[in-house]
Amino acid sequence: MAQSLTALENGGVRTAVRVRGFALLLLSFQTLGVIYSDIGTSPLYVLNGIWPSSGPLPSDEDIIGGISAIVWSLTLLPLMKYVLICLRFGTGEGEGGTFALFQGLYPRKERDPEYERSLTKESIGHASKSSSARLSPRLRWPLLIWCLLGTSLTLADGIFTPAVSVTSAVGGIAVAKASVQSKVIPISIAFLLVLFLAQPFGTTRIASVFAPVTCIWLLLLGTTGLVNIVAHPGIFRAFDPSRAIMLFVRTRDYDLLAGVLLAVTGCEAIFANLGQFNMISIQLTFSSFVYPCLVLAYLGQGARLIRDGEAVFGNIFYQTIPGEANGPLFWILYVFAIFATLIASQAMITATFSLVQQLVNMKSLPPLRMVYTSEKIQGQVYIPSVNWILMILTIVVVGAFKSSTALTNAYGFAVATVMFSTTVLIALHMRYVKFWPVVVGIAYLVVFGFFDGLFWGAALRKIPFGAWVPLMIGIIYMVIMVFWTWAKGLEDSFDGANRRSLRRFIVTKSNADEYDEPEVLQVRRDDITGSEGSITESENSASEKGSGDKAYYLAANDDDKMVECLKLARIPTCAVFHKLTGGKGVPHSFIGFVRQWPALPEVIIFLSARVLPVARISPDDRYVVDKVRSVDGFYAATYNLGFREDFDVNVDQIISQICDLEARVDPEHAAERARRIRAAAATTTHIVPGYHVTSERLSGGPLTAVIDWMRAILVESVYRPLLNMFPDTANWVGSHDEIIRVGVNATI
């Protein structure tokens, strides 16, 4: 089971990371290689994104206005909105991002009491406050769809970030050697192929160089910016926000804002990666190092553009590097630009894997096979199918758009949508989770919603010029996620609503010779009564006797007065029956199993897997085991795992806890009982239900027939084949020979 460095330092993710002194400085340095690689490579293409080289050269005042818009966008959004405000809205476990915000507004109702007791007071307090939020349940689906739209566009961003970054970096070679201009796209595709083909090896081996490379890259940006500012010190007038306002008043060109948006792409990663670091480390690094370097870089580019004009307009970043086009500094920056863009692409690809993992665990995507590439670094998971899809789409996008300028028209729309989504959710958090006055949430929504809305509107205007591609991809992703969330929710509702109490169909007969017991037993209906399903002997007497003193029967057919019970053989094996949803009652797989194979394993474990809204679970909190006292050898276990962890049931650990439990219940016979349990557990089989879903027929108004027809198509023609293609056991670690699927007819 992969464990993050953060989790190891805190004994499991229970609160946000707390470090001081040198450890805080080291953690802050590490953020450079993960969080800022995307926003740090924006100077490669932002100014040419605002003023394409194919267009007219802007005037000096327009350049100052454009640089002012960039500087104040960096100040208002990444610095003020995300670093100073949003980072304070992480979960009690330290997680950030849109999923964390949604779970704060609508926390999971099913929490295990044992797990709650293991949490710290701070985390429990956060959960209790969240659970008392009074946000209307009717808004749950609209907000979920809104979050899924933002998430789907982020996944689309995973296609365009490598495409834009790598193409822009490689394009610099045409500045030094114009003859290779036609080879920029093939070279970019070659770099991307190497990048995606290297994903199966994971990022662990190269992670150690991420932060130093990004650090040197940002230092080079800041240093060259300082040198270039000397060319036109008047560029400092860009700190006057009125220059940015007058640019749009004077030119009436709203589309310029879509280019400015490129300067803040990657700012959502500041909040989304909160769980891997902490608030202080991110605030320290961005405000004291990243922000000044980026501002100096843009000021320097603007100063050189004003002084040199057409001489640098073709490729503003590379042609404003101090010195000769083929000089040492040019090639140093070129090499580090390639490295920085590959790191930015790697970070976005890894983030896409991590995000898909969250969606799978949240049952918003089908189960996909995952490979964990690190035992220490959180979120380093490799998903083969996602990697190859990303590779194909990214290469197609690079080949179709043919230039970095065309790519930037499509880039940024996803970022603007996610930023606006975060603003809405933060405003709701202020009222319903933090319980701040309504006026505070409204003020935040009005101020930052205004700026986000401006960028979103500018991005929307780019739809005819290429932004329709990420929008189309995002909508396709969103439709898939909404459909799977809806259908999986219906299946889980069926599973929870059709549970049966164990004592309603397992009858125990004690104090008799096993060989004299009849194969069919007639039992009065009154002996199996009540909602609790009382059995023919007390729970205490059942737990005190060995299984060899009892015979077990399955309540099968019954008439008005008598129930016909079939004898069940007891076999010396261990069976783990998986409950797909929480709640009382035995899983459908157990009922189907005993009806198809009339036998009871010596050890039966009813296992509920519960994905909690934390990244990692402490090993001590992994399993919660209890004894089912109505039938000997039956146990209930809850398997807790974080939403970034793989599904890997350790039966040996469960058996150890069962033996400890038996020692507490019956110390006198504990040794013999433990021996029998461990002998049975030597052969373990996992049993899961295999659903054959059919659509429920509705009754009601005149449109019922149409709704039933559409519903039947979605459930039976779409969801059923997908359910067979993506079984729930896709991410199980271990031999699939140990898994038995028991057929269950489910009307959903």
For residue 282, the domain's CATH number is: 1.20.1740.10
- Residues of the chain with pLDDT > 70, as a percent, come to 81
What pLDDT, on the 0 to 100 scale, is given for residue 43?
94
Which residues, at least 6 apart from 230, have a Cβ–Cβ distance to it below 8 Å?
303
What pLDDT, on the 0 to 100 scale, is given for residue 550?
76
Instruction: Place 536 in a pLDDT band, splitting at 50, 70 and 90.
Output: very low
Which of the pair, 228 or 543, is modelled with greater confidence?
A: 228
Q: Give dist(CA 511, CA 418) in Å, integer.
A: 67
pLDDT for 354-369, tens place per residue? 778 778 877 889 988 8
Tell me, what DSSP letter sits at residue 389? H
Which residues, at least 6 apart from 327, have a Cβ–Cβ distance to it below 8 Å?
321
What pLDDT, on the 0 to 100 scale, is given for residue 113?
41
Q: Give dist(CA 496, CA 15) in Å, integer.
A: 32
For residues 712-728, average pLDDT = 89
Looking at the predicted structure, is the pLDDT value of residue 628 above 80?
A: yes
Do residues 456 and 579 share a domain? no
pLDDT for 166-183, tens place per residue? 888 887 776 666 666 778
Q: Give dist(CA 509, CA 551) in Å, integer.
A: 5
Domain of 316, in residue numbers: 5-467
Which of the pair, 453 or 132, is modelled with greater confidence?
A: 453
Do residues 264 and 390 share a domain? yes
Do residues 592 and 736 share a domain? yes
State which of 447, 467, 487 marks the end of a domain: 467
Q: Indicate the range of 228-237, 271-280, 443-452, 466-475 predicted with least confidence.
A: 271-280
Looking at the predicted structure, is the pLDDT value of residue 436 above 80?
A: yes
Q: How far apart are the first and last CA of the chain?
A: 34
C-alpha distances (whole Å) from 350 to each of 147, 167, 257, 420, 436 are 20, 19, 29, 23, 36
Q: How many CB atoms neighbour CB 254 within 10 A?
A: 12
Instruction: Place 621 in a pLDDT band, splitting at 50, 70 and 90.
Output: confident
Which residues, at least 6 apart from 439, have a Cβ–Cβ distance to it below 8 Å?
none
Residue with tokens 């080949």: 399
Instruction: Place 94 in a pLDDT band, splitting at 50, 70 and 90.
Output: low
Which of the pair, 507 or 626, is modelled with greater confidence?
A: 626
Which residues are paired to 566 by β-bridges? 520, 554
Q: Give dist(CA 349, CA 226) in Å, integer.
A: 33
State which of 445, 467, 489 marks the end of a domain: 467
Strands (E), 416-489: none
Residue with tokens 């490598």: 162
pLDDT for 602-613, tens place per residue? 999 999 887 775
Residue with tokens 């909160």: 274
Looking at the predicted structure, is the pLDDT value of residue 102 above 50?
A: yes
Do residues 638 and 519 share a domain? yes
DSSP-based three-state secondary structure for 470: helix
Which residues, at least 6 apart from 704, have a Cβ–Cβ distance to it below 8 Å?
698
Looking at the predicted structure, is the pLDDT value of residue 657 above 50?
A: yes
Strands 550-558 and 562-579: antiparallel
What pLDDT, on the 0 to 100 scale, is given for residue 229?
95
- The top-scoring range by mean pLDDT among 1-10, 74-83, 131-140 is 74-83
State which of 424, 450, 467 marks the end of a domain: 467
What pLDDT, on the 0 to 100 scale, is given for residue 286?
94
Instruction: Place 65 in a pLDDT band, splitting at 50, 70 and 90.
Output: very high
What pLDDT, on the 0 to 100 scale, is given for residue 526?
65
- Assigned domain for 208 exists: yes
Distance of CA 317 to the CA centre of its chain: 35
Cα four-point dihedral sign 174, 178, 180, 182: positive
Q: Which of 390, 342, 330 is nearest to 166 (CA)?
A: 342
Half-sphere exposure of 372 (CA within 13 A, CB side): 19
Q: How many CB atoms neighbour CB 9 within 10 A?
A: 13
What pLDDT, on the 0 to 100 scale, is given for residue 133?
45
What pLDDT, on the 0 to 100 scale, is given for residue 648?
80
- Assigned domain for 473 exists: no
What pLDDT, on the 0 to 100 scale, is given for residue 57?
93
Tell me, what DSSP letter sits at residue 252? -
User: Amino acid identity, residue 526?
Assistant: D
Do residues 554 and 670 share a domain? yes
C-alpha distances (whole Å) from 228 to each of 39, 66, 234, 537 are 21, 17, 12, 89
Do residues 549 and 423 share a domain? no
User: Amino acid identity, residue 77?
Assistant: L
Q: Give dist(CA 490, CA 269) in Å, integer.
A: 33
For residues 105-114, average pLDDT = 56
- Assigned domain for 623 exists: yes
Looking at the predicted structure, is the pLDDT value of residue 130 above 60?
A: no
- Assigned domain for 220 exists: yes
Q: Give dist(CA 195, CA 711) in Å, integer.
A: 42
C-alpha distances (whole Å) from 746 to each of 122, 695, 706 are 42, 9, 22
For residues 323-328, average pLDDT = 81
- Assigned domain for 425 exists: yes
User: Amino acid identity, residue 280?
Assistant: I
Which residues, at least 6 apart from 715, have a Cβ–Cβ distance to it below 8 Å?
487, 490, 693, 694, 695, 748
What pLDDT, on the 0 to 100 scale, is given for residue 674?
92
Which of the pair, 460 or 403, is modelled with greater confidence?
A: 460
- Assigned domain for 484 exists: no
- Computed over every residue of the chain, the mean pLDDT equals 80
Q: Indicate the range of 4-8, 48-52, 294-298 predicted with least confidence.
A: 4-8
Q: What is the DSSP string of 55-88?
A: SPPPPHHHHHHHHHHHHHHHIIIIIIIIIIIGGG
C-alpha distances (whole Å) from 3 to each of 96, 208, 608, 640, 641 are 18, 18, 22, 14, 12
Instruction: Place 270 in a pLDDT band, splitting at 50, 70 and 90.
Output: confident
Do residues 392 and 504 share a domain? no
Q: Give dist(CA 53, CA 43) in Å, integer.
A: 15
Q: Cβ distance 566 to 556 under 8 Å? A: yes
Looking at the predicted structure, is the pLDDT value of residue 6 above 60?
A: no
What pLDDT, on the 0 to 100 scale, is given for residue 103?
76
Q: Give dist(CA 69, CA 67) in Å, integer.
A: 5
The phi and psi torsions of 413 (rounded to 5 degrees) equal -60, -45
Q: Cβ distance 4 to 377 under 8 Å? A: yes
User: Amino acid identity, residue 634?
Assistant: F
Q: Which of 485, 220, 203 is nearest to 335 (CA)?
A: 220
Looking at the predicted structure, is the pLDDT value of residue 538 above 70?
A: no
Which of the pair, 100 or 430, is modelled with greater confidence?
A: 430
pLDDT for 544-600, tens place per residue? 444 446 788 888 765 666 777 888 888 999 999 988 766 677 887 888 888 888 889
Q: Cβ distance 291 to 79 under 8 Å? A: yes
CA dihedral 284, 290, 291, 292 (to 10 degrees): 100
Q: Cβ distance 624 to 115 under 8 Å? A: yes
Q: Give dist(CA 69, CA 624) in Å, integer.
A: 55
H helix or E strand, kind and range, residue 589: helix 588-596
Q: Give dist(CA 28, CA 47) in Å, integer.
A: 29
- Assigned domain for 320 exists: yes
Do residues 377 and 432 share a domain? yes
Instruction: Place 494 in a pLDDT band, splitting at 50, 70 and 90.
Output: confident
Do residues 69 and 200 share a domain? yes
Q: Cβ distance 29 to 207 under 8 Å? A: no
- Assigned domain for 175 exists: yes
Cα four-point dihedral sign 712, 713, 714, 720: positive
- Residues of the chain with pLDDT > 90, as a percent, come to 31
Looking at the predicted structure, is the pLDDT value of residue 252 above 70?
A: yes
Do residues 517 and 387 share a domain? no
Q: Give dist(CA 72, CA 264) in Å, integer.
A: 11
Strands (E), 520-561: 520-524, 550-558
What pLDDT, on the 0 to 100 scale, is given for residue 617?
81
What pLDDT, on the 0 to 100 scale, is given for residue 453?
93
H helix or E strand, kind and range, residue 707: helix 704-712
Q: Cβ distance 576 to 687 under 8 Å? A: yes
What pLDDT, on the 0 to 100 scale, is given for residue 692?
87
The phi and psi torsions of 618 (rounded to 5 degrees) equal -65, 140
pLDDT for 67-84, tens place per residue? 999 999 999 999 999 999
Looking at the predicted structure, is the pLDDT value of residue 464 above 60?
A: yes
Q: How many CB atoms neighbour CB 737 within 10 A?
A: 7
The phi and psi torsions of 577 (rounded to 5 degrees) equal -95, 120
Do residues 461 and 540 share a domain? no
Q: How many domains does the chain have?
A: 2
Q: Give dist(CA 405, CA 185) in Å, integer.
A: 12
Q: Indicate the range of 104-108, 323-327, 532-536, 701-705 predicted with least confidence.
A: 532-536
Do residues 196 and 263 share a domain? yes
Instruction: Place 374 in a pLDDT band, splitting at 50, 70 and 90.
Output: low
Q: Which of 15, 75, 612, 103 is nearest to 279 (CA)?
A: 15
Q: Give dist(CA 353, CA 375) in Å, integer.
A: 16
Q: Cβ distance 441 to 431 under 8 Å? A: yes
- The top-scoring range by mean pLDDT among 305-309, 461-465, 490-494 is 305-309
Q: Give dist(CA 39, CA 27) in Å, integer.
A: 19
Instruction: Place 208 in a pLDDT band, splitting at 50, 70 and 90.
Output: low
What pLDDT, on the 0 to 100 scale, is given for residue 121?
39
Residue with tokens 């004291």: 288
Q: How many CB atoms neighbour CB 81 within 10 A?
A: 25
Q: Give dist(CA 347, CA 679) in Å, integer.
A: 47
